[in-house]
């Protein structure tokens, strides 16, 4: 059974940092691209960042470029998102999702339940 | 990276059909056959319902179907059932990233 379990969310101050993790099981982690998608309160889904199966290719939404860093550890079956210089508008539930392909991110067939990030003073 | 345009709400009675549209541009929906649809019940993980415009993952009822014409994709739910009530999001590959729609809340009357 495929499982994706996010953690690391919580309350952060504007300008602060948080590190999200997503531990996966049930599939060969290194064979698939992964991504982070967020949902702000009352808003729709927003793609945040993606990483290829090898970890060599990464992409970011303009809204987080230069502030967030995506990475993966195939030994620990873990996807991470380092979030720096946090802003109030980063407040959202963050989901990790599995792509159906090794490099391109066109379709996400499994998702976690999400972890809530709140940025507030 | 503008969001795709979806109607905020849609509704239908049990047994009826409803279609949700998703409008983008030639840089996303119109440029690639990589439109997906996700069903999202609040507090749960989103679920893939349609991928590559028309394909259904294993386990998704054939009441769900997808199509595309130009820059607009559509999701049709036939034979509406109470459990279909949820938020539905479209997404499209856009070259080096993915763009989502704003979501449509489907209500089964």
Who among A45, A95, A108 is closest to B48 (CB)? A108
The SS3 of residue B108 is: strand
Chain A 9-68, residues with CB within 8 Å of chain B CB atoms: 35, 37, 43-47, 50, 59, 61-63
Q: B46-70: per-residue pLDDT in tens?
A: 999 999 999 999 999 999 999 999 9
pLDDT value at residue B1:
60
Cα A7 from chain centroid? 10
User: What's the 3-state SS for A2-48?
Assistant: CEEEEECCEEECCCCCEEEEEEEECCCHHHCCEEEEEECCCCCEEEE
Instruction: Give B57's contacts in chain A (Cβ within 8 Å).
Output: 109
pLDDT value at residue A28:
96
Q: Which residues contact A118 (CB under 8 A, 6 or more apart)?
A: A9, A10, A11, A12, A91
Q: A37-78: per-residue pLDDT in tens?
A: 999 999 999 999 999 999 999 999 999 999 999 999 999 999
Which residue's entry shows tokens 């109607």? B7
Residue A7, both tokens: 């953690």
């Amino acid at each position: 059974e495929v499982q994706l379990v996010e953690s690391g969310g919580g309350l952060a101050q504007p300008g602060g940092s948080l590190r999200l993790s997503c531990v996966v099981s049930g599939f060969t982690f290194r064979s698939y691209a992964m991504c982070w998608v967020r949902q702000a309160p009352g808003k729709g889904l927003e793609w945040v960042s993606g990483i290829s199966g090898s970890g060599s290719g990464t992409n970011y939404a303009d809204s987080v470029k230069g502030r967030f860093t995506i990475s993966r550890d195939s030994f620990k079956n873990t996807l991470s998102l380092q979030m720096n210089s946090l802003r109030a508008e980063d407040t959202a539930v963050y989901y990790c999702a599995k792509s159906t392909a090794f490099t391109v991110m066109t379709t996400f067939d499994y998702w976690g339940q999400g972890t809530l990030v709140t940025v507030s003073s | 990276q503008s969001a795709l345009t979806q109607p905020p709400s849609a509704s239908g009675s049990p047994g009826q059909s409803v279609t949700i549209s998703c409008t983008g541009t030639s840089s996303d929906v119109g440029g690639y056959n990589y439109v997906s649809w996700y069903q999202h019940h609040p507090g749960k993980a989103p679920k893939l319902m349609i991928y590559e415009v028309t394909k259904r993952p294993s386990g998704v009822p054939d009441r769900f179907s997808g199509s595309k014409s130009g820059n607009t994709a559509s999701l049709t739910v036939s034979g509406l059932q109470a459990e279909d009530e949820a938020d539905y999001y479209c997404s499209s590959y856009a070259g080096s990233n993915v763009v989502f729609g704003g979501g449509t809340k489907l209500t089964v009357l």
